[in-house]
């Protein structure tokens, strides 16, 4: 992911970073919806092993498409050899370092989506058997991905016009509302659907804004390292969020776990808004 994001920042103008990353996120979420559907059909007519082998084909085609795109993209050439090194300290200075404070807080509240599905499936067992409850939870998860796909490009456009950090703060607020809904819960799928939608809107705004903000604030020669740092913060934050929520789920209740996540996202929104006020203004979006 860091290499992909750095490459994308190199091939699009700075004034449309938000829309570029929003489009990439939208396609990723649409893939999460459309990808499993043919797999289910293949398993039905062949076998799991055959479906896995066939899935190699689109993976190889995507690799070929990436190689083709790289070879046909005009990128600046460096005549002087640059040593390979991991750079962190310069990234933590100035606006990018302040941005990472808000991003870290956001990711500490961004738990694994499996917890959302588990919460829904447990709630639905009050009126359905285990299989039906799980199927209903997975259907609502599709709503999560649809919401994320639909919001990504508009969120990117808003970030281009105003500032991506503003979109990140909005994503944290949406996530907090969704987590609070999960904490209350409901055994009726139609009542729990808005919780999935709010969480989907939150992740669509958050992921788009994080990438666009890093691309716009990181120095060009350190952009790859900046996206590597972002990926590290995202992974570590997700681990902390899921671990703490899991412990609270086991020791107290699912509601306590989601109240923790709600509080984490509200703190992230406050920190991100504070960061937004200290960052340089975004470049005007191209019409």
Query: Residue 259 belongs to what domain range?
Result: 2-34+88-276
Residue 250 is assigned to a structural domain of this protein: yes
Q: Is 96 exposed, middle or buried (0-12, 13-18, 19+ CB in 10 A)?
A: buried
Q: How many residues does the chain have?
A: 287
Of 210, 283, 242, the C-alpha closest to 118 is 242
Structure tokens at 195: 């919780």
Neighbours of 79 (CB within 10 A): 4
Phi, psi of 237 (to 5 degrees): -65, -45
Q: Residue 192's domain is classified under what CATH number?
A: 1.20.1250.20
Provide the domain count of the chain.
Answer: 1
Q: How far apart are CA 151 and CA 43, in angstroms?
A: 32
Residue 137 is assigned to a structural domain of this protein: yes
Residue 70 is assigned to a structural domain of this protein: no
Predicted pLDDT at 61: 87
Predicted pLDDT at 80: 52
Predicted pLDDT at 223: 84
Residue 235 is assigned to a structural domain of this protein: yes
Asked if residue 101 lies in contact with residue 271, where contact means CB atoms within 8 angstroms, the answer is: yes
Phi, psi of 125 (to 5 degrees): -70, -10
Q: List the chain pLDDT tens, one digit each, 287 residues.
A: 777 888 888 888 888 999 999 999 999 888 888 776 676 677 678 776 887 788 788 888 888 887 877 776 665 555 455 555 556 777 777 788 888 989 999 999 999 999 999 999 999 998 888 888 888 998 899 999 999 999 999 999 999 998 899 999 999 999 999 999 999 999 999 999 999 999 999 999 999 999 999 998 888 778 888 899 899 999 999 999 999 999 999 999 999 999 999 999 999 999 988 876 666 655 544 44
Predicted pLDDT at 131: 85
Residue 54 is assigned to a structural domain of this protein: no
Asked if residue 275 lies in contact with residue 165, where contact means CB atoms within 8 angstroms, the answer is: yes
Residue 160 is assigned to a structural domain of this protein: yes
Predicted pLDDT at 7: 80
- 3-state secondary structure (DSSP) of residue 69: helix
Q: How far apart are CA 103 and CA 206, in angstroms?
A: 9
- 3-state secondary structure (DSSP) of residue 89: helix
Residue 151 is assigned to a structural domain of this protein: yes
Q: Quickly tell me which residue has 């398993």 as its tokens.
A: 43
Of 64, 60, 75, the C-alpha closest to 7 is 75
Residue 76 is assigned to a structural domain of this protein: no
Phi, psi of 47 (to 5 degrees): -160, 170
| pTM of the shown model | 0.85
């Amino acid at each position: 992911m860091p290499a992909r994001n750095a490459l994308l920042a190199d091939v699009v103008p700075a004034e449309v970073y938000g829309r570029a990353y929003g489009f990439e996120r939208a396609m990723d979420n649409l893939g999460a919806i459309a990808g499993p559907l043919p797999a289910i059909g293949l398993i039905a007519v062949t076998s799991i092993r055959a479906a896995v082998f066939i899935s190699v084909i689109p993976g190889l085609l995507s690799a070929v498409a990436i190689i083709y795109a790289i070879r046909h993209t005009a990128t600046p050439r460096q005549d002087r050899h640059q040593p390979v090194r991991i750079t962190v300290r310069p990234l933590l200075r100035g606006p990018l370092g302040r941005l990472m404070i808000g991003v870290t807080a956001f990711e500490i509240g961004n738990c694994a989506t499996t917890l959302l599905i588990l919460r829904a499936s447990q709630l639905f067992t009050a009126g359905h058997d285990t299989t039906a409850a799980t199927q209903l939870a997975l259907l609502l998860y599709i709503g999560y991905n649809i919401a994320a796909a639909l919001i990504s490009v508009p969120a990117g456009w808003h970030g281009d016009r105003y500032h991506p950090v503003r979109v990140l703060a909005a994503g944290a607020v949406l996530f907090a509302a969704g987590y609070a809904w999960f904490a209350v819960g409901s055994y009726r799928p139609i009542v729990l659907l808005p919780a999935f939608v709010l969480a989907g809107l939150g992740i669509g705004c958050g992921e788009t804004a994080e990438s666009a903000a890093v691309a716009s604030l990181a120095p060009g020669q350190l952009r790859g390292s900046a996206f590597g740092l972002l990926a590290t913060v995202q992974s570590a934050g997700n681990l902390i969020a899921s671990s703490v929520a899991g412990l609270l789920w086991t020791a107290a209740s699912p509601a306590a776990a989601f109240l923790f996540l709600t509080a984490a996202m509200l703190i992230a929104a406050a920190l991100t808004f504070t960061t937004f006020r200290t960052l340089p203004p975004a470049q005007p979006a191209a019409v």
